[in-house]
Amino acid sequence: MKPVAIFRHAPSEGPGYFATFLDSHDIPWQLFRVDAGDTLPADARQFSGLVFMGGPMSVNDDLPWIPHSLELIRQAAQAGIPVLGHCLGGQLMAKALGGVVGRNPVKEIGWGEVVAADNATARTWFGETRNFDAFHWHGETFTIPPGATVILGNSHCANQAFALGKNLAMQCHIEMTEEMVREWCELGMEEIASASTSPAVQQPAEIMENLAERVNALNTAAQKIYKKWVEGLVR
């Protein structure tokens, strides 16, 4: 089986629980450290699927790797190779597939409920799950590309996820581990302080409360979503 390509855009925003899931299902994967200058592949067909992680930059920034990533997403979509995006990764997918990325009404940082849409596509991805607590760290959001369907939302960000065939783009984070949450809070203390007036920004102490239980519940929700996504891998 061809490996799943995982694209990391910041050292602290690796694949997290997603890598654990792939390993537990004996699915090979290859990490491309965009932040470290790794050479990006030219052809999406080298892989069974493409996965784009988060990052502090905007997809609208003038960065040399962004056009390449957008082209890989388009290649994969045209070739029937599933793409999965987490936060920045979801925004990359939206832009590549015809959507627009811009400022969200509020910055969203910390734990927050996401609610499955009442449509057949959402039920395909989430089954009987109607809501769960995801992790958030974003100030921008995406519109839904032509042909795609919104499948998750909440009161602070209407478009938390969309699906287009085998492709899933998320604004929220479901890949979190306890270690990642702690590191993000440490690295992002100034950002949290500067955005403290947002009703969707939690302080580190609130984020860390019952952390093990929250992460475990998120991993359980993520496992169901990842299981559905890997069904579409090109084998």
Query: Strand order in 167-170's β-sheet?
Result: 29-33, 4-8, 49-52, 83-86, 167-170, 161-164, 149-153, 101-116, 131-142
pLDDT reported for residue 235: 87
Could you tell me the two tokens for 82? Answer: 């599933």
CA 204, CA 181: separation in Å to the nearest integer? 9
Residue spans of alpha helices (H) in 47-107: 65-79, 88-96
pLDDT reported for residue 112: 97
Taken in order of first residue, the domains within the chain and their CATH numbers are 4-230 (3.40.50.880)
CA 163, CA 22: separation in Å to the nearest integer? 21
CA 1, CA 56: separation in Å to the nearest integer? 32
112's CB contacts (< 8 A; 6+ apart) are 133, 134, 136, 154, 156, 172, 200
Could you tell me the two tokens for 80? Answer: 């029937």
pLDDT reported for residue 146: 98
CA 57, CA 60: separation in Å to the nearest integer? 8
Question: Which amino acid type is present at position 20?
Answer: T
The tens place of each residue's pLDDT in the chain, 235 residues long, gives: 999 999 999 999 999 999 999 999 999 999 999 999 999 999 999 999 999 999 999 999 999 999 999 999 999 999 999 999 999 999 999 999 999 999 999 999 999 999 999 999 999 999 999 999 999 999 999 999 999 999 999 999 999 999 999 999 999 999 999 999 999 999 999 999 999 899 999 999 999 999 999 999 999 999 999 999 999 999 8
Question: Which amino acid type is present at position 87?
Answer: C
pLDDT reported for residue 152: 98
